[in-house]
Amino acid sequence: MAGTITGLATSFDLPNYTGELFSLTPDDTPLLSSIGGLTGGGQTTSTEFEWQEYDLRDPGQRTRLEGADAPTAEERKRGNITNVVQIHQEQVALTYTKQAATGQLASPQSAPFNHPGGGPNPITSELDWQVAQMLKQMALDVNWSFINGTYSKPNSNSTARKTKGLLQAIQTNRIAKGTAVTGATSATDTVTSTGHGLVDGDKIVFTAVGAATGIIPGRAYYVDQQTTDTFKVSTSSGGAAITLGTATGIAFTKPWTTALSADNINDVLQLAYDNGGISEQATATLLCNSIQKRAITKAYADAYGKFQESSRTVGGVNVTTIVTDFGTLNVMMDRHMPQDTIAAVSLEQLMPVFLNIPGKGAFFEEPLAKTGAADKVMLYGEVGLKFGNERAHGLLTGLKI
C-alpha cells in the first residue's frame, strides 16, 4: 500500500514491486511554474528582501495664470514592501541493503520478501528516485506557500520564517461573499463556535486552523452532528468525524449559496484594473481551483449565450483563456487555491526570490554525515514570494462550492 515512511528506510518497510509506476498524487505546480519555478526568479543576500513602490497624484485640470510664479515644488515619495524567504529542508535516508536489493520484490509474498520470478523492478536507483520525489514534494510545498502562506518575521531563531502568500498579500481589492466566522475552538473532534448557524450537510471552508490537525485551510468540509454552539466536520456528507485535537484561533467561512455570475467576476476585475492591475493581457490571470473553474465557465456562458474557450502558454504552463469586459484573461487552475476563492492576478508582478547559499546554490542536495550503514541526503532551499503591487491583484472569496 502506498504511503509515507518516516525515518531510515529499509528493505522491509520500503518494498519493491514490478510493472509500470503510477503516481497517486498530482505534482503539478501551475502558479510556481508560471513565474519561474525552482530554477528561475530573483536572488537575495538577506533573509528579508524588499521592492519599492510609488504613486502619482490624481490628475486634474491644473491651470496657472499667465505670468504666475512656478507653483510650490512637489515630489513623489517612494515606499517599500518586504517579504521573507522561508526554509524548505528535507531528508532522504536509505540503508545500503535497501539500495542494493533492487531485485528483492514484495509481490506476491509479504516480509521477508524474495524474488517471485516476475518482471523487473522499474526503480534502478532507489536513492535517486526518492530524492526526485522529495524535490517534487518541496515544489508542492513552495507552490502552496506562495498562495496560502501566512507571514511571519520572527525576532529570534525559536520561530521559523514564513513567506507571505498571495492571498494574504492582497488587501485592497477584496470582495467577500458568504459568512466569515472567527474565534472558534476545537477539542477532540468537536468545533465550538457560539451561534454558528450551521446545519448538518452544510459545507464550510476553514481559513485558519490554529493547532488543529486533520484539516487544511482552503478545503471544503461537511458539517455533521451540529448543536447550537458546536459541530463536527468530515470530508464527505455524513462521513466519520475528523479528529482535530485542542486548538484555538480557528476561523471558517460558510460559503455563498448564490451561483457565481459574470458580474461578480467583473466586479473584482474592475477593482484590480482601476488600481493598475491586469493591464498586461498576456499575464492577466484568473487563478482558481476546479470548482470555481466550472463556475467561471458557466457564468460567462450564461451571460453571453454561446461561449468558447481558447488557450495559450504562460511561463511554460498551458492555460485556457476567457474573454471578459477587461480583456482576454488566462484561467489557471491550481489545486492549492481555496475552493471558495478566485484571484485576479497580474502574473508579471510575481517572482520567486531565492537565498543563494555560497558554493551550493538556491535549491540543492548534499550528503549528510555517515552514522551507520546508510546514505543520508539533505535537500535544502530558502525561497520567498515577491508579489509586486498588491493593488494590481484582486480576491473574490466565500463563493458557492
Instruction: Report d(CA 332, CA 31) in Å as an integer.
Output: 8
Report if residue 73 sits inside a domain. no
What's the pLDDT score for residue 116?
Answer: 56
Report if residue 58 sits inside a domain. no
Do both 227 and 150 map to the same domain?
Answer: no
Instruction: Report d(CA 360, CA 362) in Å as an integer.
Output: 7
Among 221, 254, 287, the domain-final residue is: 254
What's the pLDDT score for residue 118?
Answer: 59
What's the pLDDT score for residue 228?
Answer: 94
Buried b (16+ CB within 10 A) or exposed e, 230-265: bbbbbeeeeeebbebeebeebbbbbbbeeebebebb
What's the pLDDT score for residue 318?
Answer: 83
Instruction: Report d(CA 327, CA 191) in Å as an integer.
Output: 44
Average pLDDT by consecutive 10-residue portion of the chain (401 residues)?
87 85 90 93 95 91 93 93 97 96 76 64 93 96 96 95 97 96 96 95 93 93 95 94 96 95 96 95 95 94 74 83 91 96 97 95 93 96 97 97 92
What's the pLDDT score for residue 247?
Answer: 95
Question: Can you read off the three cell numbers belonging to residue 390?
Answer: 498588491
Specify whether the CB–CB gap between 251 and 186 falls below 8 A.
no
Among 254, 287, 303, the domain-final residue is: 254
Instruction: Report d(CA 114, CA 101) in Å as an integer.
Output: 10
Find the CATH number of the domain harbouring 105: 3.90.1690
Q: Three-class SS of residue 347? A: helix
What's the pLDDT score for residue 106?
Answer: 78
Specify whether the CB–CB gap between 396 and 264 falls below 8 A.
yes
Instruction: Report d(CA 138, CA 190) in Å as an integer.
Output: 32
pTM: 0.92
Instruction: Report d(CA 151, CA 170) in Å as an integer.
Output: 13
Beta carbons within 8 Å of 152's beta carbon, 6+ residues apart: 84, 159, 160, 161, 162
Among 254, 283, 302, the domain-final residue is: 254
What's the pLDDT score for residue 173?
Answer: 98
